Amino acid sequence: MHRTLTRLGVALALLASLTSAGPARAAPVVAQDAGAATYLLLTANSRLPAGLSEGVSAAGGTVLRAIPEIGVLVAASAEPAFPLRAADLPGVWSVAPNVQVSVIDPGGRAAVSVNAGAIGDPPFSGDDDFYYDLQWGHAAVNAPQAWNAGRRGAGARVAILDTGFDLDHVDLAPNINLALSASFVPDEGLSYALPDAFSHGAQMAGIVAAADNAFGLIGVAPEAELVLVKVLRDTGVGEFDWLLRGIVYAAEVEADVINLGLGALLPARNPDGSHNVSVAVLRAALARAAAYAFERGATLIAAAGNDSRNGDADDGLIHLPSDAPGFISVAATGPLGWALDPHIDLDIPAHYTNYGVRAIDFAAPGGNVDFDLLASGRICTLPGVTAPCSVFDLVLSTGSNLDPGLPTYFFSSGTSLAAAYVSGVAALLIGAHGGELNPALVRQALRRAADDLGPPGRDAFYGFGRVNAEDLGPPGRDAACGSEHDDLEAGGRPDRGRDCGRPDDVPGRPGRGAGNDRTRVGVFGP
């Protein structure tokens, strides 16, 4: 039913990126000395050996927390020799700094005027979620066709690992499983609490599963369940082990899809050309977390990064988690001038997206920028919004509440948004199969359904293709696929051109219950 708004109670802001730029929910927090550095100790066999805590103390460290499911211990020490001492402890494979994570700050923000009359009667479609007509990304992936076929994500559970969230947003609240949602950020709750209304976590959640509720906009899988997992502070700053703990937790609460719109571009080699052992340890820890999630039926989908990096040519850098085994890496696409011509190509590679045949599995809508159109200053009015025409090439999704009852919406761009689109499409597939589907089969079905754009076969910008929600058929075994987890313990990278998981050895899951190296890492938003 159409809802006529005589008075607009929605604040819309613009976030435009123009640069390439049972689970332990509340583990005890151990005090850390101000001058101490934190480290990840990765054990040799994914288990914590007896006596490790005592060994850490003898080596001059303090145990802060542990992730026993994947054999990771987090320790702090102010002693420079601690990493070498800890690496020599029985059962320890290697040690790496617990790198600091920080948000990639958006390029710019500006208010957008809202045309309340247009909102009251959307002219382009019969849908009554008044911003739906601005969601060109849904048309790109054929989401409406999937809905018409009865696939809406019901029964699928998607974990969003990100910053804080707006738990009361009218478009998000109906689909949030609050009982299972959790924060792994010390001293910060799950709710986004900054006065700035842009919540990256809320953006991801809205793309995946904003409710079809006659208000605002619609997610790709509007009936999927959202489990919100906070692994970054609201400011976008976090610790690497929070990310690991979030993945393990999401797997333990039986998430079908784990969405990761975050990452880090790290040096794979030291200045002298030697192998960067610390980064290899971080990669191996992620691979263990991915294997743990895989065995519990979770498909992990990660942003490829916004660095305009050629992953085939530049082997001196590695992007995590998208370059780690077990993660589906997603590049971003978008139109140039959609506000002027709604029939324009929606699949142009974004100027900022990372790319490479070995670096990208799939592409999806992430937003684009027509710099000539931007420079022209031309203004367009589309349903409910008057803004520079270039704004509409970005992706619209949910924000946070400036005031109670005043939900916000933002345009933004980035590979994180593209990853959320793939997570939504995966949720449609899983929901259509009773809410439970082997991750290997999810990958295979996404690959078969994807539109093969660019050069035939797997290519640098689209991977196996731009995801397509309409053509998802029954999954089956691909004889060409091997195991992408065969070399996880060694931290090696499989041939991702052929690997798509292990469909034969993942056990069924039970029914669900209720419930020194300061590398900059961040949320891949604008």
Q: Domain-by-domain residue ranges, the chain? A: 37-98, 103-523
Tokens of 1: 């039913």
pLDDT score at 128: 67
Give the confidence band of 195 by pLDDT, cuts at 50, 70, 90: confident
- Give the whole-angstrom CA distance, residue 366 versus residue 330: 10
The residue-averaged pLDDT of 56-76 equals 98
The tens digit of pLDDT for each residue in 277-332 reads 999 999 999 999 999 999 999 999 999 999 999 999 988 999 999 999 999 999 99
Task: Choose the most confident range, by mean pLDDT, from 99-113, 254-268, 488-502.
Answer: 254-268
Q: Is the pLDDT of residue 30 over 90?
A: no
Which residue has 């995966």 as its token pair? 426
Average pLDDT of the chain, as a whole number: 82
- Nearest to 337, CA basis, from 311, 369, 310, 385: 369
- Nearest to 63, CA basis, from 110, 34, 31, 93: 31
pLDDT score at 140: 98
Tokens of 210: 């904003």
Q: Is there a contact between 409 and 216 (Cβ–Cβ < 8 Å)?
A: yes
Superfamily of domain 103-523: Peptidase S8/S53 domain (3.40.50.200)
Q: Is the pLDDT of residue 382 over 80?
A: yes
Q: Is there a contact between 483 and 443 (Cβ–Cβ < 8 Å)?
A: no
In the chain, the N- to C-terminal Cα span, in Å, equals: 34
The tens digit of pLDDT for each residue in 197-208 reads 889 999 999 999
- Give the whole-angstrom CA distance, residue 398 versus residue 85: 48
CATH class held by domain 37-98:
alpha beta
Q: Is the pLDDT of residue 102 over 90?
A: no
Q: Is the pLDDT of residue 363 over 90?
A: yes
